[in-house]
Amino acid sequence: MALERTFSIVKPDAVAKNVIGQIYARFEEAGLKIVASKMLQLSREQAEGFYAVHKERPFYNDLVSFMISGPVMVQVLEGENAILKNREVMGATNPAEAEAGTIRKDFADSIDENAVHGSDAPETAAEEIKFFFNDDELCERLR
């Protein structure tokens, strides 16, 4: 088992629903520790850059507009197999297909407004953490 860090966003729909704390509780219940966290209003340029991998997809413009529709929480989660564990806690991209007890099943309304983002691999986790945090913003957690 590897101690990993992954990048996570509580998206504008979940911030608007006032469930930041309930989502953070899901991370903590899964053994994921928050080692950095802040609230941000993304600029269009930031959102476009963050989701550049989806630039050619039909949903790209709507995704960018949604991500700048209100503030988000960005955080770095640490734990054993944190990348996969966070994806499990999040549930499927489409909340209609997400398993019971997952964040997206319980807090998301649609595939377009699906409450959370989580990195999908070690390389993207490292890139996404760097995109939003300086090294001095990442804390060491005692265990």
Q: Least distance to ligand RTP from the beta carbon of 62, Å?
A: 8
Catalytic residue among 5, 26, 85, 117: 117
Q: Which residues contact 9 (CB under 8 A, 6 or more apart)?
A: 72, 73, 74, 75, 116, 117, 118
- Of the listed pieces 17-25, 33-41, 112-120, 131-139, which binds ligand RTP according to CB under 6 A? 112-120
Amino acid at 52: A
Rounded-to-integer distance, Cα 90 and Cα 88, Å: 5
Q: Least distance to ligand RTP from the beta carbon of 127, Å?
A: 13
Residue from 117, 125, 129, 132 touching ligand RTP (CB under 6 A): that is 117
Q: Does 41 bind ligand RTP (CB under 6 A)?
A: no
Residue from 80, 88, 97, 112 touching ligand RTP (CB under 6 A): that is 112
Question: Do 143 and 42 contact (CB within 8 A), yes or no?
Answer: no
Residue from 63, 74, 89, 125 touching ligand RTP (CB under 6 A): that is 63
- The binding site for ligand RTP (CB under 6 A) comprises 54, 59, 63, 93, 111-112, 114, 117-118, 120
Catalytic residue numbers, as ranges? 117
